[in-house]
């Protein structure tokens, strides 16, 4: 490996050190050149003085923004420098030159529209604020996985190529699989339920789901990072919400503690919801919307985007950034439990976080006969689901779970306008590269 340490590890008045990274900024003050060099962990200032190191001073005249350089030298305390330390160089080497002009400024705080940023994503990803989003993202996923590992959940991987879709419909991406038609996975739903039948008891998956969404919205993409959970021997959907609530709280707490630098860079004041997440019924949700905001969702069996946003405001004001809406009417989804004797129509719930749906879940139908009845009522082609129906027919414990959109979680935690900012290389109806 090339001899160097991270910029964040450079201490003033230590012995000579070497750092390497991209040239973030160049300031030429006549007999003085300041280079700000950036690596993954931060920025450091190098001061080239004509009097002190004439050869290096001469060499640095040709430096360009975003060149990759390595500098060795003596770390000195400096009030003006980022991190309170600067380097007086004794060695300077350009490892790779950057072409110029750059299609995107990295160091300057210039407003660039998202589409230009994404067109030049490899450069955009160099910005410290963009990198901060992905450091946060990594912290969130790691923390979430940690919680499920500690609770004894099994880490699973389900197939991304299938013969049919769990949810069916127009959102399926068809592909050619050798000489037959197949689809990209919309959700690991069927497989995680099969694993409940197989006795795995509690599973989680950090996976990918594909949805051919018609429109590009600020909360929809075509390739989604999905965190899926399923657990067996539940009494009801409240057990599933408990898991969702505790794991999310843990992940947010970890991020608030471990990612201070990133939250600072993104100007985010993350409050961890320590109180119980409110759980309201769908009817109560409609009631709040009607009485407080005079809002009526177009589809009276679902919350619309505006409804979620308004409910989000309502609960945020009471100190609850996250809450559950439970029991959607008319939820005749074959795998969702419909319990006529419950006062709620179905054991389905959505978690709304900061005014946006973050996950959907519920208790599943483990009675195969009932499930097949619903499938027939709904006109679902049971032939496509034989492997699943069969798997559940040899004894399945009551179970439930949820799917959480990781990209939406990152979007909300990092306080980003658009979900695509939370994805390194996002896919939407109009974007297939980079």
Task: Point out which residues bind ligand ATP (CB under 6 A).
Answer: 211, 213, 220-221, 224, 226, 357-360, 403, 405, 407-408, 419
Considering beta carbons, is residue 93 or 213 the nearer one to ligand ATP? Answer: 213
Does 167 count as an annotated binding residue? yes
Closest CB 406 distance from ligand ATP, rounded Å: 8
Closest CB 327 distance from Mg ion, rounded Å: 14
Does 143 count as an annotated binding residue? no
Does 115 count as an annotated binding residue? no
Considering beta carbons, is residue 89 or 165 the nearer one to ligand ATP? Answer: 165
The packing angle between helices 128-150 and 237-258, to 10°, is 130
Window 135-174: contact mask with Mg ion (x via CB under 5 A): ----------------------------------------
Considering beta carbons, is residue 305 or 360 the nearer one to Mg ion? Answer: 360
List 142, 360, 384, 418, residue binding Mg ion (CB under 5 A): 360
CA distance 164 to 190: 11
Considering beta carbons, is residue 19 or 209 the nearer one to Mg ion? Answer: 209
CA distance 431 to 58: 45
Considering beta carbons, is residue 84 or 174 the nearer one to ligand ATP? Answer: 174
Considering beta carbons, is residue 2 or 170 the nearer one to ligand ATP? Answer: 170
Residue whose C-alpha is closest to residue 337's, from 391, 291, 401, 425: 401
For residue 38, the cross-strand partners are 22, 43
Considering beta carbons, is residue 166 or 195 the nearer one to ligand ATP? Answer: 166
By a kind-dependent CB cut-off of 5 to 8 A, residue 211 interacts, out of Mg ion, ligand ATP, none, with ligand ATP
Q: How many residues bind Mg ion (CB under 5 A)?
A: 1
The residue sitting closest to ligand ATP, measured at its beta carbon, is 405
Residue 428: count of CB within 10 angstroms of its CB = 19
CA distance 135 to 352: 24
User: Segment contacting Mg ion (CB under 5 A): 189-197, 239-247, 294-302, 353-361?
Assistant: 353-361
CA distance 408 to 118: 18
Residue whose C-alpha is closest to residue 60's, from 49, 51, 73, 76: 49
Considering beta carbons, is residue 165 or 405 the nearer one to ligand ATP? Answer: 405
Residue whose C-alpha is closest to residue 71's, from 120, 16, 25: 16
By a kind-dependent CB cut-off of 5 to 8 A, residue 172 interacts, out of ligand ATP, Mg ion, none, with none
Closest CB 13 distance from Mg ion, rounded Å: 56
Closest CB 350 distance from Mg ion, rounded Å: 6
Does 211 count as an annotated binding residue? yes
The verdict on 258 binding Mg ion (CB under 5 A) reads no
By a kind-dependent CB cut-off of 5 to 8 A, residue 127 interacts, out of Mg ion, ligand ATP, none, with none
Does 268 count as an annotated binding residue? no
Q: Please write down the long-range contacts of 163-169, taking CB distance under 8 Å and 24 or more positions apart.
A: 163/384, 164/381, 164/384, 164/385, 166/190, 166/335, 168/380
- Name the site residues for Mg ion (rule: CB under 5 A): 360
Going by the annotation, the residues of the binding site for ATP are 211-213, 219-221, 357, 405-408
Binding site feature residues: 167, 211-213, 219-221, 357, 360, 364, 405-408
Annotated binding site for Mg(2+): which residue ranges? 357, 360
Which residue numbers belong to the known binding site for L-aspartate?
167, 211, 360, 364
């Amino acid at each position: 490996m090339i001899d160097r340490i991270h910029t964040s590890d450079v201490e003033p008045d230590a012995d000579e050190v070497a750092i390497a990274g991209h040239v973030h900024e160049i300031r030429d003050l006549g007999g003085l050149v300041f280079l700000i060099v950036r690596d993954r962990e931060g920025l450091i200032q190098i001061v080239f003085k004509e009097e002190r190191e004439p050869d290096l001073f001469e060499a640095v005249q040709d430096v360009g923004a975003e060149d990759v350089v390595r500098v060795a030298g003596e770390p000195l305390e400096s009030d003006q420098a980022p991190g309170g330390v600067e380097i007086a160089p004794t060695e300077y080497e350009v490892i790779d030159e950057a072409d110029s002009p750059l299609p995107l400024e990295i160091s300057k705080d210039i407003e660039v529209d998202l589409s230009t940023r994404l067109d030049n994503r490899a450069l955009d990803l160099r910005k410290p604020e963009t990198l901060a989003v992905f450091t946060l993202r990594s912290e969130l996923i790691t923390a979430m996985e940690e919680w499920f590992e500690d609770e004894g959940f099994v880490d699973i991987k389900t197939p991304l190529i299938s013969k049919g879709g769990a949810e069916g419909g127009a959102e399926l991406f068809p592909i050619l699989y050798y000489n037959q038609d197949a689809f990209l996975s919309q959700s690991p739903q069927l497989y995680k339920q099969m694993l409940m039948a197989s006795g795995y008891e509690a599973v989680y998956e950090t996976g990918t789901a594909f949805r051919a969404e018609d429109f590009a919205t600020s909360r929809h993409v075509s390739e989604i990072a999905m965190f899926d959970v399923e657990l067996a021997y539940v009494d009801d959907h409240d057990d599933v919400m408990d898991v969702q609530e505790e794991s999310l709280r843990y992940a947010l707490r970890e991020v608030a503690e471990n990612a201070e630098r990133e939250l600072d860079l993104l100007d985010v004041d993350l409050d961890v919801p320590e109180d119980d997440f409110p759980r309201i019924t769908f009817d109560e949700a409609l009631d709040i919307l009607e009485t407080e905001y005079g809002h009526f969702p177009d589809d009276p069996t679902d919350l619309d985007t505006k409804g979620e946003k308004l409910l989000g405001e309502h609960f945020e004001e009471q100190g609850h950034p996250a809450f559950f809406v439970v029991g959607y009417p008319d939820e005749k989804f074959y795998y969702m439990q419909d319990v006529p004797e419950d006062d709620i129509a179905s054991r389905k719930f959505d978690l709304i976080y900061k005014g946006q749906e973050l996950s959907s879940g519920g208790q599943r139908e483990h009675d195969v006969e009932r499930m097949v009845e619903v499938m027939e009522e709904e006109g679902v082609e049971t032939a496509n689901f034989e492997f699943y129906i069969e798997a559940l027919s040899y004894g399945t414990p009551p179970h439930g779970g949820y799917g959480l959109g990781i990209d939406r979680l990152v979007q909300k935690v990092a306080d980003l306008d658009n979900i695509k900012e939370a994805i390194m290389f996002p896919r939407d109806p109009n974007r297939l590269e980079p």
